[in-house]
Structure 1
């Protein structure tokens, strides 16, 4: 191998996992027209914001898009695609949200990720023997705040089966023939929904299966307090102002810095939009994953940052280091996106307000929008406000944005990072709103022996353990370590190895899953407003 190729291998930037969560929400037939589904998207999104206010998603935010129901060929459904990257917490938080939504509205929800039916993977230890990766498609549902499994006694015509879904990690090749059992056991989404909603036969998943999933999500929303980290940082003034208005911008900047390449670094060496000085000491909020990514990279400041007077290893030096990395991420992403299509978000505050009024005037000539607003009235969205009041207008602005956003065909018109920064900066007149709260402890970055043992026990198959029991188990492990550390370590290693092998077999579809076991009405307030 020549020197160039060696350098290419070892100088590649870190990559972000492309793990993507995909979920589809199927409303009942009477609410599957486009206006009704748009209304559901808005009231559900509003509900999500109310129970997770100001939640900071690591990569993509929870969203709901309206798409045609390709399974039935008529009506519409809601769909979401979230890149969760290296932050698995986002995936389980989204599942918790879907669980809550299913209990409030009459929607059946399917959810999968890059590994396939990950809810079954989580419960692999407890699954019925008939469940395999090749027959699980369209059989796993979240409905009425419970997990459901459609039995094999319900199938669809083999001719209705589309091209088989490929599972990450499987050994399938294009030359392999799919076993006949796949066609025989296949059920389409629409047939599965009929069984779920209309069948007298119970489709509830076994209690142990549901508990395995519930144990991963029952800690929300309280668990979100352990999702973010507050740290002091020295930031260019405009970066601090932008983050004071829209804290989520830091996530994109961190990702850009973390995955930077040589071309992007040219912008960081100039810092023409966000010069290092004047700077301000502020408190920045980001996900713990993002903070760990910044802390884990050694990066020498570009010369434009000058020499810091702070001594390395002190908190003040760390504030300079983290702030410098965020500023570089802002600069690189801003320069990369500043020439993208200009949107109304880049207008001044007054012009933006005028644009919002013009948009509403245009939308009011759309019959779908008029029906949509009427549905929102029935749902209680406007909180009993008099039409035309200040709060009414504010809520309608939000509803109009949601109407447009939910109906976008793709993300091609998504606002650029540069446009988002410009939009928030015109709303911040001075630095009075810059956050100066105390920073959080970094203790969570250090995993001690007992914490590691507790995680090993959970991974080894004790997924039904409640948080308090996990703490007790960790204490027990500590006492046993003192008596027989080697024996315990060997036992746990074997458990983890066995569990990993069995989950791997399930993912790859090897053998039977037993190998993964250890022992037409008018709309009503309720329909749109939830239960």
Structure 2
């Protein structure tokens, strides 16, 4: 987002600093827009009460992962009207987010003047859901405050000056005050696209049935005191599960240091001990009962999937289950006790800081524990007969939705639903109906992407917003090289031959034909090289003839003539002096043949070559064509001789 276009503090239009939402957090705003003199214009308090009633009607027994849905009245400078505001931290439970969206959409159907905006830490997540059908002019740089829910529909505020030729031309973000002004003055200008709406609200199709389907009931073996707390405050299972799921060594220290309680009447029971015992715990593993606890699927999975060695205080309880009683359903009883041990550990950590918690339900757990202590402790706890009278105390749901059978998964990808574990008959397929629908939608979108006939040879179309504006010249050069590489041909026969050699397979007739073809190509290349050498030789001869025609290669006989005259005058030289010219003549360096040398031409060529400093130049190229190779300079020549 281009923050440079936003007004700064002290400038006109500045409405305060925009606070960023934390991760996994949903923000929602509800505005009542209309003429204040209208008789049907509801108040914010009326809308808030209607929202609470709708929530109680749809999700009365729903367990929120962290924060529940709640609304409060707010006002903001520059808007000109108050509004209802709320945030919900949904944590790992994305269903909490979509439940709120469904609730707000249903609420908008009841109030024609109600306009609702929802966003999360990712921005306009409704547009992210509909990214495939979103118009190109709507980008993450300019979509802020443009998506609204009104009368059960999804409406979008268009750009002020859209330019079809430049989709990102109007990339300035829309402020909340500007959006409210547009809704107030020109509500008919907002765009309603059924295609975008269907994609954005796709997950809402499974509601309201998804609210109850998302809950999971499981039998757990826990202390009687904890059973009483859960019966009184069933929603406290969420913070307790999160406390166990996010446990740390410091919070576990009181639980791990407490040893098992000694048996009554034993010697260790009468003797004092400095170590902590199970009696020092708020929920000691004594007087255990088995009850049904209501979770969400996320909470149950978080508790079930955690590996947690039994603390010392719980080892006796686990041993008694293994040693005592029959072996029938032993695994089931152990699983219930292990799940209850984890849940009790979470409540143990939660209760020690209950009074300092910001959660209302956690503080209520602390108050219940105080009331139990004042009423005489265990005497106020429910009896077995009272527990059996609780509603749904023995309910246990099937948790096979946690199991993944990849054979069923493959069948779902192929579009053929089959029974679980590969057994035909029930037609359940992979997961539940919602999982199957989501899976088919993902596969259909992927297939549509692969089968997109509108895409050119360069692949999928890339919007301007996906391109990097900071590309360098090196990237441009690399791009040109890639364009050149596109023209490289592919030799299918040679590729087949290479693959056969890699796999150790014998060569076939096709490979023999490929070798013959390669041999013909090599012979043709050799002939081409010979022709090229012949052309270079002819060019060198032509240049030599031209140089001779201009006298550039005429040799000067004067130095050699002078030398011969000197030797003729020196007839009285010694014998040793006469041996030296003979050796030079044998080496070919002191031949008596007349050699004409143009010293001026040689000097100019050498100076021109030396001025090249070892780089390419006209003198070096000319000498190279004539087959003459000179060292870079005199110093290099000396080094070479050494």
Classify the TM-score, shorter chain.
0.5 to 0.7
Of the three residues 134, 137, 141, the one matched with 2:141 is: 134
Of the three residues 295, 302, 305, the one matched with 1:286 is: 295
- Give the distance between the partners of 1:54 and 1:31, measured in 2 at CA: 37
Report deviation, 1:139: 0.4
Report deviation, 1:71: 4.6
Q: Is the 8 A contact 1:92 1:216 kept in 2?
A: yes
Any idea what SS the aligned residue of 1:201 has?
A: helix
- The equivalent of 1:447 in structure 2 is 404
- The equivalent of 1:326 in structure 2 is 343
Question: Is residue 26 of structure 1 aligned with residue 31 of structure 2?
Answer: yes
- Give the distance between the partners of 1:471 and 1:451, measured in 2 at CA: 14
Question: Is residue 438 of structure 1 aligned with residue 395 of structure 2?
Answer: yes
- Give the distance between the partners of 1:154 and 1:451, measured in 2 at CA: 51
Of the three residues 60, 84, 91, the one matched with 1:85 is: 91
- Give the distance between the partners of 1:335 and 1:41, measured in 2 at CA: 35
- TM-score normalised per structure 2: 0.51
Any idea what SS the aligned residue of 2:353 has?
A: helix
Distance 1:493 1:143, change over 3 A: closer
Report deviation, 1:101: 1.1
- Give the distance between the partners of 1:448 and 1:509, measured in 2 at CA: 40
Any idea what SS the aligned residue of 1:436 has?
A: coil
Distance 1:453 1:110, change over 3 A: farther
- TM-score normalised per structure 1: 0.61
Distance 1:282 1:70, change over 3 A: farther
- Give the distance between the partners of 1:24 and 1:198, measured in 2 at CA: 19
Distance 1:71 1:242, change over 3 A: farther
What are structure 2's unaligned runs of at least 5 residues? 1-21, 259-277, 323-328, 373-379, 416-432, 452-458, 469-642
Deviations 1:126-160 (A, max 9, x none): 101111001000101111100011010279xxxxx
Distance 1:182 1:317, change over 3 A: farther
Q: Give the 5 Å matches for 1:105-504.
A: 105=111, 106-153=113-160, 185-199=172-186, 201-269=188-256, 270=258, 272-307=281-316, 308=318, 309-311=320-322, 314-338=331-355, 340=356, 414-415=359-360, 417-423=362-368, 426=371, 430-431=382-383, 432=386, 434=390, 435-449=392-406, 452=409
Q: Is the 8 A contact 1:337 1:416 kept in 2?
A: no
Deviations 1:91-121 (A, max 9, x none): 1111111111111123211111111111111
Q: Is the 8 A contact 2:34 2:184 kept in 1?
A: no
Deviations 1:179-215 (A, max 9, x none): x968764322233234335426342431111001222
**What CA RMSD, in Å, does the superposition of the two structures yield over aligned residues?**
4.0
Distance 1:71 1:290, change over 3 A: farther
Any idea what SS the aligned residue of 2:234 has?
A: coil
Q: Is the 8 A contact 2:63 2:296 kept in 1?
A: yes
Q: Is the 8 A contact 1:454 1:471 kept in 2?
A: no
Report deviation, 1:430: 2.3
Q: Is the 8 A contact 1:146 1:204 kept in 2?
A: no
Distance 1:52 1:233, change over 3 A: same
- The equivalent of 1:400 in structure 2 is none
- Give the distance between the partners of 2:439 and 2:61, measured in 1 at CA: 34
What are structure 1's unaligned runs of at least 5 residues? 1-16, 156-179, 342-411, 459-466, 478-487, 496-501, 513-531
Deviations 1:480-525 (A, max 9, x none): xxxxxxxx9x979979xxxxxx99x99x95249xxxxxxxxxxxxx
Distance 1:75 1:282, change over 3 A: same
Q: Is the 8 A contact 1:56 1:248 kept in 2?
A: yes
Q: Is the 8 A contact 1:22 1:113 kept in 2?
A: yes
Distance 1:75 1:218, change over 3 A: same
- Give the distance between the partners of 1:335 and 1:281, measured in 2 at CA: 24
Distance 1:306 1:492, change over 3 A: farther
Report deviation, 1:441: 0.5
Any idea what SS the aligned residue of 2:240 has?
A: helix
Count of matched residue pairs: 370
Question: Is residue 57 of structure 1 aligned with residue 13 of structure 2?
Answer: no
Deviations 1:314-336 (A, max 9, x none): 11111001101110100101112
Q: Is the 8 A contact 1:84 1:90 kept in 2?
A: yes
Deviations 1:45-83 (A, max 9, x none): 1221112221112221111122223451x4421111111
Any idea what SS the aligned residue of 1:248 has?
A: helix
Q: Is the 8 A contact 2:65 2:238 kept in 1?
A: yes
Report deviation, 1:89: 1.2
- Give the distance between the partners of 2:448 and 2:346, measured in 1 at CA: 41
Distance 1:41 1:23, change over 3 A: same
- Give the distance between the partners of 2:447 and 2:168, measured in 1 at CA: 38
Distance 1:457 1:197, change over 3 A: farther
Report deviation, 1:29: 5.9
